[in-house]
């Protein structure tokens, strides 16, 4: 398997090189030159396998330069006891034809774990394979979920270290505690006096600072990015689409070969893009339903072909989807415009210069054959949490509820009753207060008390890691000015 770039279709790199580099030198994203095919026979076999065996099939089809035994070892480490329950990605049934794929049974209670538990291993493997003698320093800016998932994934992984920056006062209490209590000799988190944009800009500037890069080099380190455009985050996400399908076949909910829909709460377009890759590999899929919150730039794009990021930014109940520039959409554009790197590059240049671009009707049609998109505001999201609980006694978080609401609209408008899987991206306990509010409860309580209330209401118990959060010692107490982020990196490296 070779990869190419969305902005230069002549480029060729190995999977390991793509994972190590993160982004192509031409500014494009790495994409496979072709999609490996998975036959119905293989899907039938997958029905009898566990998540790890399914992951091995899909990952080895993409990561052909990784030794099979090594890859197997990585998978065992990544999808082990840190996930609660029998499977890292179980499917719950609401009623015949309606299912929920739960991607939040990992250490941070959100779907980023599905990829970030594996990525550190893929990265160190790539580094070894390519004979690099430098250790990887991961810097990340986070608005909440990614930071902790990356810290948990990289904790005590040899030859790596990770420093996460988050906006001081800009993340939820549970999210902050998750980061500042993270164990591991090679991890740290730092609050920045500024908002998320300041934090992200600070990290980008450090990545681009030659003096800083040289300084690191001399000490045996190299900057690496773990963000969602890394190919090593995309491939692990393809696995759970196949796994959900295999589960439905195994439980006789569908016959192997029957099409299904997937509904995906979307921000940066990474999760849903992995679903599209699964479809291209042969997974029988009818529609991918793309669900946005009030930051509805994607549903507008799918409706009229105009991508316009110049608009008001809304802070919503589903913060991990508060995004105006969906980076991974670039990978879809590459596929639907006939793999023409120059065209993609022109659109992305326009996006950078004017904040918008438009695609022609042929491209729009291609997208509509595969996707359906809509959005829900905070009021509809809360209502959806209430509806799902009333109708199915199923408790969902606000991100998942955006998907639930959009699926209701999809059914009403299209009449499509194909079996459908709603992809659930976070545990309701990660957003206790908002979920309790949606169920009609009011008043002032601590996070822990809200969690208790939810347990009494639903019978659902939060994972141990959640209650533990409020008792663990705080390890990372640092706060810095946004001008002092470089210094924070140097201090961190010196402490390693
Ligand atoms: C990151 C995230 C999303 C959005 O996923 P994308 O791959 O960026 O589209 C949705 N829900 C939760 C809880 C997340 O953490």
Q: What is the pLDDT of residues 253-276, one digit of tens each?
A: 999 999 999 999 999 999 999 999
Could you tell me if the CB of 322 is within 6 A of ligand 1? no
Backbone angles phi, psi at 70, to 5 degrees: -65, -45
Q: Would 42 be classed as within a structural domain?
A: no
Could you tell me if the CB of 142 is within 6 A of ligand 1? no
Q: What percent of the chain has pLDDT over 90?
A: 83
Sign of CA dihedral 226, 229, 235, 240: positive
Rounded distance between C-alpha atoms, residue 80 and residue 56, angstroms:
14
Could you tell me if the CB of 268 is within 6 A of ligand 1? yes
Categorize the per-residue pLDDT at 467 as very low, low, confident or very high, splitting at 50, 70 and 90. confident
Backbone angles phi, psi at 30, to 5 degrees: -80, 135
Which of 142 and 385 is assigned the larger pLDDT?
385
Please state the rounded mean pLDDT for residues 224-242: 93
Could you tell me if the CB of 269 is within 6 A of ligand 1? yes
Q: What is the 410 CA–ligand 1 centroid distance (Å)?
A: 20
Closest ligand 1 atom, CA of 264? 9
Q: Would 491 be classed as within a structural domain?
A: no
Categorize the per-residue pLDDT at 481 as very low, low, confident or very high, splitting at 50, 70 and 90. very high
Closest ligand 1 atom, CA of 273? 7
Closest ligand 1 atom, CA of 430? 13
**Predicted confidence (pLDDT) per residue in 163-204, tens digit:** 999 999 888 888 899 999 999 999 999 999 988 878 888 888
Backbone angles phi, psi at 185, to 5 degrees: -75, -10
Could you tell me if the CB of 114 is within 6 A of ligand 1? no
Low-confidence winner among 133-142, 167-176, 344-353 (lowest mean pLDDT): 167-176
* Residue located nearest, by CA, to atom 1 of ligand 1: 320
- Give the Å distances, CA to CA, from 197 to 21, 141, 482: 24, 9, 11
Look up tokens 């140097």; give the residue.
490
Rounded distance between C-alpha atoms, residue 104 and residue 106, angstroms:
5
Q: Where are the beta strands (DSSP E) in 168-317?
A: 187-193, 221-224, 260-265, 285-292, 306-308
Contacts of residue 353, Cβ cutoff 8 Å, sequence gap at least 6: none
Predicted confidence at residue 195, as pLDDT, reads 82
Structure tokens at 183: 């164990």
Could you tell me if the CB of 426 is within 6 A of ligand 1? yes
**Predicted confidence (pLDDT) per residue in 87-117, tens digit:** 999 999 999 999 999 999 999 999 999 999 9
pTM surpassing 0.85? yes
Please state the rounded mean pLDDT for residues 60-75: 98
Q: What percent of the chain has pLDDT over 70?
A: 100
Q: Domain range holding 298?
A: 91-110+232-463
- Is pLDDT of 379 > 90? yes
* Residue located nearest, by CA, to atom 4 of ligand 1: 267
Q: Would 407 be classed as within a structural domain?
A: yes
Predicted confidence at residue 463, as pLDDT, reads 86
Q: Would 344 be classed as within a structural domain?
A: yes
Predicted confidence at residue 49, as pLDDT, reads 98
**Predicted confidence (pLDDT) per residue in 298-317, tens digit:** 999 999 999 999 999 898 99
Q: Would 296 be classed as within a structural domain?
A: yes
- Are 47 and 60 in contact, with CB atoms under 8 Å apart? no
Identify the CATH number of the domain in which residue 433 sits: 3.40.50.1100
Could you tell me if the CB of 264 is within 6 A of ligand 1? no
Rounded distance between C-alpha atoms, residue 393 and residue 459, angstroms:
10
Structure tokens at 62: 């993409």
Maximum distance among all Cα pairs of the chain, rounded to whole angstroms: 62
- Is pLDDT of 382 > 80? yes
Choose one of 110, 149, 174, 406 to mutate for the ligand 1 pocket test, by most ligand atoms within 8 angstroms of C-beta. Answer: 110
- Is pLDDT of 143 > 80? no
- Is pLDDT of 144 > 80? no
Backbone angles phi, psi at 290, to 5 degrees: -95, 115
* Residue located nearest, by CA, to atom 2 of ligand 1: 320
Q: What letter does residue 473 receive in the DSSP assignment?
A: P
Please state the rounded mean pLDDT for residues 7-23: 94
Choose one of 301, 399, 403 to mutate for the ligand 1 pocket test, by most ligand atoms within 8 angstroms of C-beta. Answer: 399
Closest ligand 1 atom, CA of 269? 9
Predicted confidence at residue 169, as pLDDT, reads 86
**Predicted confidence (pLDDT) per residue in 423-459, tens digit:** 999 999 999 999 999 999 998 898 899 999 999 999 9
- Is pLDDT of 142 > 90? no
Categorize the per-residue pLDDT at 323 as very low, low, confident or very high, splitting at 50, 70 and 90. confident
Q: What letter does residue 71 receive in the DSSP assignment?
A: H
Backbone angles phi, psi at 2, to 5 degrees: -115, 155
Q: What is the 321 CA–ligand 1 centroid distance (Å)?
A: 6
Residue of 73, 1, 9, 115 whose CA lies nearest to 344: 9
Choose one of 100, 116, 150, 268 to mutate for the ligand 1 pocket test, by most ligand atoms within 8 angstroms of C-beta. Answer: 268
- Classified as helix, coil or strand, 335 is helix
Categorize the per-residue pLDDT at 226 as very low, low, confident or very high, splitting at 50, 70 and 90. confident
Could you tell me if the CB of 295 is within 6 A of ligand 1? no
Q: Would 191 be classed as within a structural domain?
A: no
Rounded distance between C-alpha atoms, residue 374 and residue 207, angstroms:
36
Q: Would 282 be classed as within a structural domain?
A: yes
Closest ligand 1 atom, CA of 323? 8
Q: Would 12 be classed as within a structural domain?
A: no
| Number of compact structural domains in the chain | 1
What is the residue-averaged pLDDT of the chain?
Answer: 94
Predicted confidence at residue 468, as pLDDT, reads 87
Predicted confidence at residue 136, as pLDDT, reads 92
Closest ligand 1 atom, CA of 266? 9
Choose one of 108, 111, 238 to mutate for the ligand 1 pocket test, by most ligand atoms within 8 angstroms of C-beta. Answer: 111
Predicted confidence at residue 21, as pLDDT, reads 87
- Give the Å distances, CA to CA, from 211 to 27, 205, 216, 218, 433: 21, 11, 9, 11, 45
Residue 223 falls in which region: left (phi positive, over 0), alpha (psi -120 to 50) or beta? beta
Structure tokens at 29: 């994203």
Q: In what helix (H) or strand (E) does residue 346 lie, and over which residues does it extend?
A: helix 341-354
Sign of CA dihedral 195, 197, 203, 205: negative
Contacts of residue 394, Cβ cutoff 8 Å, sequence gap at least 6: 92, 94, 100, 388
Q: Where are the beta strands (DSSP E) in 104-238?
A: 135-141, 160-167, 187-193, 221-224
Residue 173 has a CB neighbour count (10 Å cut-off) of 14
Choose one of 265, 272, 324, 371 to mutate for the ligand 1 pocket test, by most ligand atoms within 8 angstroms of C-beta. Answer: 265
- Are 278 and 238 in contact, with CB atoms under 8 Å apart? yes
Predicted confidence at residue 269, as pLDDT, reads 95
**Predicted confidence (pLDDT) per residue in 18-40, tens digit:** 999 888 989 899 999 999 999 99
């Amino acid at each position: 398997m070779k990869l190419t770039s969305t902005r230069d279709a002549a480029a060729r790199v190995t999977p390991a090189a793509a994972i190590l580099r993160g982004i192509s030198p031409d500014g494009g994203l790495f994409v496979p030159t072709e999609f490996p095919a998975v036959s119905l026979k293989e899907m039938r076999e997958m029905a009898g396998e566990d998540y790890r065996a399914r992951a091995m099939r899909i990952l080895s089809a993409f990561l052909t330069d990784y030794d099979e035994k090594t890859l197997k070892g990585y998978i065992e480490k990544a999808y082990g006891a840190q996930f609660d329950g029998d499977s890292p990605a179980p499917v719950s049934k609401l009623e015949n034809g309606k299912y929920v794929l739960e991607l939040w049974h990992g250490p941070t209670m959100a779907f980023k774990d599905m990829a970030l538990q594996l990525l550190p291993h893929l990265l160190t493997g790539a580094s070894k394979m390519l004979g690099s003698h430098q250790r990887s320093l991961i810097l990340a800016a986070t608005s909440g979920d990614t930071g902790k998932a990356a810290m948990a994934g990289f904790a005590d992984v040899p030859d790596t270290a990770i420093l996460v920056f988050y906006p001081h006062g800009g993340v939820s209490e549970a999210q902050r505690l998750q980061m500042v209590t993270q164990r591991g000799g090679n991890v740290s988190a730092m609050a920045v006096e500024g908002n998320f944009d300041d934090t992200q800009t600070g990290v980008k500037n450090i990545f681009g600072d030659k003096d800083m890069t040289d300084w690191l080099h001399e000490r045996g380190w190299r900057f690496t990015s773990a963000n969602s455009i890394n190919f090593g985050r995309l491939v692990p996400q393809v696995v759970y689409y196949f796994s959900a399908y295999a589960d439905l076949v195994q439980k006789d909910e569908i016959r192997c070969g029957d099409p299904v829909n997937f509904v995906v709460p979307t921000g940066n377009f990474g999760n849903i893009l992995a679903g599209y890759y699964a479809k291209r590999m042969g997974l029988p899929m009818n529609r991918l339903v793309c669900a946005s919150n009030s930051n509805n730039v994607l549903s507008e794009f799918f409706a009229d072909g105009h991508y316009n990021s110049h608009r008001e930014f809304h802070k919503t109940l589903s913060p991990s989807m508060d995004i105006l520039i969906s980076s991974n959409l670039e990978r879809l554009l590459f596929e639907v415009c006939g793999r023409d790197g120059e065209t993609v590059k022109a659109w992305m240049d326009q996006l950078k210069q004017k904040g918008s671009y438009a695609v022609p009707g042929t491209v729009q049609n291609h997208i509509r054959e595969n996707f359906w998109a809509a959005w829900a505001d905070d009021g509809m999201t809360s209502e959806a949490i209430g509806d799902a609980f009333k109708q199915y006694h199923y408790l969902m978080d606000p991100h998942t509820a955006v998907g639930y609401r959009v699926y209701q609209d999809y059914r009403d408008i299209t009449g499509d009753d194909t079996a459908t899987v709603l992809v659930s991206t976070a545990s309701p306990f990660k957003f206790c207060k908002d979920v309790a509010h949606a169920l009609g409860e009011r008043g002032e309580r601590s996070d822990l008390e809200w969690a208790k209330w939810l347990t009494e209401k639903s019978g659902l118990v939060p994972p141990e890691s959640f209650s533990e959060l409020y008792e663990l010692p705080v390890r990372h107490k640092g706060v810095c000015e946004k001008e002092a982020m470089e210094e924070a990196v140097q201090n961190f490296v010196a402490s390693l």
